[in-house]
Amino acid sequence: MSVLEVEDLRVRLRTPAGEVTIVDGVDYEVQPGEVFGVAGESGSGKTISMLALLGLLPEGAVVGGSARFGDDDLLAMPRRRLRRISGRELAMVFQDPYTSLHPMLSVGRQLTDHVRLHLGLGRAAAEARAVELLEEVRLPDPRAALGRFPHQFSGGMRQRIAIAIALACRPRLLIADEPTTALDVTVQAGILRLLDRLRREHDLAVILITHDLGVLSGIADRVGIFYAGRVVELGLRADVLQRPRHPYTRALIDALPHPELTREQNLVAIPGTPPSPGRIPAGCAFHPRCPYVQDVCVAQVPPLDPVDTRLLACHVDPFAG
Amino acid sequence: MSALELTDVVVDYHGRDGTVRAVAGASLSVDRGRVVGLVGESGCGKSSLARAAVGLVPIAAGSVAFEGRPVSEMTRRARPADLVRLQLVFQNPYSSLNPRRTVGRQVADGAGGSRARVGELLELVGLSANAAARYPHEFSGGQRQRIAIARALAADPAVIVLDEPLASLDASAQAQLANLLTRLARELDLGLLLISHDLAIVRHVADEVCVMYLGRMVESGPTLPLWQRPAHPYSEALIAAVPHADGAGTLPEALPGEVPDPSRPPSGCRFHPRCPYAFDRCLTEEPPLIGLAGGRDAACWLQQAGQSAEPPAARAANLAVGADVE
């Protein structure tokens, strides 16, 4: 059974320019032990769609659709209950662990406070659990780490601490939003390996949001490509990355430097820029940048339909067969 | 003589807790028309070296020369005229562009105020000439970076030092900017020193790569041979950690440990605590940067002067040293 089932998720945010649609009907589900990768350029709605699940959207946001998590609908439950679930059964880590770690409290205090609050452990049991968690994320010398403060750790170690806190209550779902974007590649590889081990050992479901398809390539089981608030392609990692069917997915992959390319060959940039919310083109939102555009693309939003073993939202499907 | 030449540069930062040596004797040179990539993990000293190259931080020892003249530390006074042709572009163009002045006026600062020249420069970086009337916030991150480059080009530079110009951009914007940099180097005979932690882009754009670790250059050479057969175990680890979007499901290799505190560098080879091939000598003696065949240099006891670069693992197995040997 799925850990999470999102159906027709819609988010509208209030901006100085009026109310704008950020997420426009998104469906996906995540299985236990699975890494579901979410990719897309900045402004594609990938982060907002996750914040919506946790009730972390700014004041005035309008959310529609459903997000079934166990027996609950995350989008319909009272705020207080959502707060109890999030951080416990469903946890999130961010790009910059500084935003989720308190700068003035020791690592030990933050970890023990968290497990005492959510699990009702006593002081000694909470401390033992804290050490166990830091060992779990392979932080060197966990006992000494308890007395230190976030700024005394490197970016990679801070991210490990943030993951330890997220794991404290043995969540079923971890949402990781660009968790390695600010890190060196050497450290990034370590965090990806950590996430991979955690999902295998604990059957943890992970939603990994990133703009870097390379990051997804090593770890994601399935990949969803977001564009302008919608999913345009969703399928198995190898299908989507090796045989992309949507012109946008194809363009994202072609823009990356790869070892076979010589210096004399230019990288293939996608013409234009991603649309800003509130100015989403009619029809297929990608049509102004798409080399395969036809009349129907301008007129109608393509539905996300099953095609072979994947879901695809493209009228033209130029890479079929 | 190279357009920009850094020789045995040392950069120290003095703080309350003593002195930290961010760059501990590093050399590199940038010729006109060439793109030199400078890579390494955060804390390796690459940004400090870049800043020293343009005189933004003082050097404690060594020398920095631009077109044969020493680059002096920048003061509040105007730069000497001959140094204006050495330009710097920062990572975040939002903090280096003035939000309250039009793009045209900011580019014109370096172009002697000529409106025609401003339009030309904007078109050179792939923007339209009428971008001049608009303000920085009206542009995307990638476009703002191009504005920053247009402004640097206004001074008719011989060399531009770019500190992480591609960070925080989407893949497509990165591709556009990478193409622009290669084109500018060729068309304007411009030397570029490109500091980046994105190794895949550096591999594509740079003619030569310099790899820095804890304040020292550990390897340098022409990009492709270095990539295909890294001579230094650190370069090897960096390259192995780069993820590929091939959908194959292989996780990149992690390099255990972290860049050590530069105020207390390890004995011997600075990389030895993280090196899978370290043997006795590496713990006590620091390997010098030696010349290998094919215009390459590496600072590793596993390589032999004048010989071709050998894969560290193979060489370590031959010598029967290191942790990987069975």
Q: What is the mean pLDDT of residues A95-102?
A: 80
- Tell me the one-letter amino acid at A56: L
Mean pLDDT taken over chain A? 92
Q: What is the mean pLDDT of residues A44-66?
A: 93
Kindly tell me if the per-residue pLDDT of A39 is higher than 70: yes
C-alpha–C-alpha distance, residues A91 and A137, integer Å: 15
Question: Which has the minimum average pLDDT: A108-112, A244-248, B100-104, B255-259?
Answer: B255-259
Angstrom distances, CA of residue B205 to CA of B188, B226, B268: 16, 14, 33
Buried residues in B255-293 as b, exposed as e (16+ CB within 10 A): beebbbebeebbebbbbbbbbbbbbeebeeebbebbebe
3-class SS of residue A214: helix
Q: Do A267 and B173 touch (CB under 8 A)?
A: no
Q: What is the mean pLDDT of residues A121-145?
A: 92
3-class SS of residue A310: strand
Contact B221, B208 (CB under 8 A): yes
The larger pLDDT score, comparing residue B74 to residue B246, is at B246
Question: Which has the minimum average pLDDT: A270-274, B29-33, B78-82?
Answer: B78-82
Q: What is the mean pLDDT of residues B123-147?
A: 91
Q: What DSSP state is assigned to residue B287?
A: P
pLDDT of residue B325: 41
C-alpha–C-alpha distance, residues A126 and A165, integer Å: 12
Q: Which residues of B touch A241 (CB under 8 A)?
A: 245-247
Q: What is the mean pLDDT of residues A289-299?
A: 97
Which regions of chain A does DSSP assign to beta strands (E)?
4-15, 18-30, 35-39, 62-69, 72-73, 90-93, 173-177, 205-210, 222-227, 230-236, 305-307, 310-312
C-alpha–C-alpha distance, residues B9 and B25, integer Å: 5
Nearest to A269 among B179, B197, B251 (CB): B179
Q: A70: exposed, middle or buried (C-beta count within 10 Å: 0-12, 13-18, 19+)?
A: middle
Interface test with B, best of A267, A270, A289 (most B CBs within 10 A): A267
Q: Do B173 and A269 touch (CB under 8 A)?
A: yes
Structure confidence at residue B322 as a pLDDT band (50, 70, 90): low
pLDDT of residue B315: 87
Which regions of chain B does DSSP assign to beta strands (E)?
4-15, 18-30, 35-39, 61-66, 69-70, 86-89, 159-163, 191-195, 208-213, 216-222, 290-292, 296-298
pTM: 0.91
- Tell me the one-letter amino acid at A208: L
pLDDT of residue B275: 96
Q: What is the mean pLDDT of residues B104-117?
A: 85
pLDDT of residue A115: 85
C-alpha–C-alpha distance, residues B195 and B61, integer Å: 22
The pLDDT tens digits of the residues spanning A191-229 come to 999 999 999 999 999 999 998 999 999 999 999 999 999
pLDDT of residue B92: 75
Minimal-distance CA residue of chain B relative to A214? B245
Minimal-distance CA residue of chain A relative to B35? A263
Kindly tell me if the per-residue pLDDT of A130 is higher than 70: yes
Q: Which residues of B touch A190 (CB under 8 A)?
A: 254-256
Contact A185, B197 (CB under 8 A): yes
Alpha-carbon gap: A241 to the closest alpha carbon of chain B (Å): 5
Q: Do B247 and A155 touch (CB under 8 A)?
A: no
Q: Do B249 and A218 touch (CB under 8 A)?
A: yes
Structure confidence at residue B73 as a pLDDT band (50, 70, 90): confident
Structure confidence at residue A276 as a pLDDT band (50, 70, 90): confident
Kindly tell me if the per-residue pLDDT of B221 is higher than 90: yes
pLDDT of residue B326: 38
Q: Which residues of A touch B182 (CB under 8 A)?
A: 263, 266
Q: Which residues of A touch B246 (CB under 8 A)?
A: 217, 241-242
Among candidate residues B20, B2, B8, the one with its CA nearest the CA of residue B289 = B8
- Tell me the one-letter amino acid at A23: V
pLDDT of residue A43: 85
Structure confidence at residue B178 as a pLDDT band (50, 70, 90): very high
Nearest to A215 among B204, B207, B243 (CB): B243
Q: What is the mean pLDDT of residues A181-190?
A: 89
Q: What is the mean pLDDT of residues B299-324?
A: 85
Structure tokens at A284: 């297929």
DSSP line for B155-210: T--SEEEEESTTTT--HHHHHHHHHHHHHHHHHTT-EEEEE-S-HHHHHHH-SEEE
pLDDT of residue A272: 85
Nearest to B172 among A217, A238, A270 (CB): A270
Minimal-distance CA residue of chain A relative to B201? A257
What percentage of residues in chain B have a pLDDT greater than 90?
A: 72
Contact A204, A171 (CB under 8 A): yes
Q: Which residues of B touch A189 (CB under 8 A)?
A: 241, 243, 251-255
Q: What is the mean pLDDT of residues B198-211?
A: 93
The larger pLDDT score, comparing residue B94 to residue B29, is at B29
pLDDT of residue B324: 47
Structure confidence at residue A96 as a pLDDT band (50, 70, 90): confident
Q: Do B258 and A190 touch (CB under 8 A)?
A: no
C-alpha–C-alpha distance, residues B218 and B231, integer Å: 9
Among candidate residues B253, B270, B262, the one with its CA nearest the CA of residue B313 = B253
Among candidate residues B216, B212, B218, the one with its CA nearest the CA of residue B40 = B212
pLDDT of residue B184: 95
Q: Do B172 and A258 touch (CB under 8 A)?
A: no
Q: Which residues of A touch B172 (CB under 8 A)?
A: 41, 251-252, 255, 269-270
3-class SS of residue A67: strand
Q: What DSSP state is assigned to residue A262?
A: -
